[in-house]
Amino acid sequence: MIEILFYILSAVTLGSAFLTILSKNPIHSAIWLVVCFFSIAGHYALLNSQFLAMVHIIVYSGAIMILMLFTIMLMNLNISDEVSKPVVTKIVATVCFCLIGFFLVSALAQTAPTLETYTNTGVDFQSIQVLGKVLLNEFVLPFEMAAVLLLMAMIGAVLISKKDKKTA
């Protein structure tokens, strides 16, 4: 039963992530992102980590998506008024994205922890104290990579929202 639920949640996560990227309407894209966040919270619940599931729903599906929707509405994105970017800009952005992705993946591959045999230590990994120690000791690189990714997304959002001056 859990495997079936895992596969259903995985399909919903991947499908909504693709629809987030492929949607032309920014509001629809934000809604698909909310669906993706909820399905990821379902994965946390399947892993018996109810604290992370609830924090994920509160922080990501709640606060961040509200901010994104307000930003989208305040920017008043109209595709008809949008000036298309030059091809050179798109190529440079794609190359930069690929290079940064390659460096992040290679850094993660070099510092990947080795899987050892499972031993029951009796430590409760549901506590916030143990979770903080594990996050900031063993998984500090992915934690920092997520911070860099969010910073790059914020810079990208600012650059996208910057209106080009129309030459009349």
Ordered by start, the domain boundaries in the chain are 1-82, 83-113+124-168
Residues 20-48 have pLDDT tens digits of 888 888 778 888 988 999 999 999 989 88
Q: Read off the pLDDT of each residue in 114-124 and give the average, rounded to a whole number.
A: 67
Residues 77-109 have pLDDT tens digits of 655 555 677 888 889 988 998 999 899 888 888
Sign of the CA dihedral with 100 first, then 103, 109, and 110 last = negative
CATH code of domain 1-82: 1.20.120.1200
Q: State the pLDDT at residue 126.
A: 65
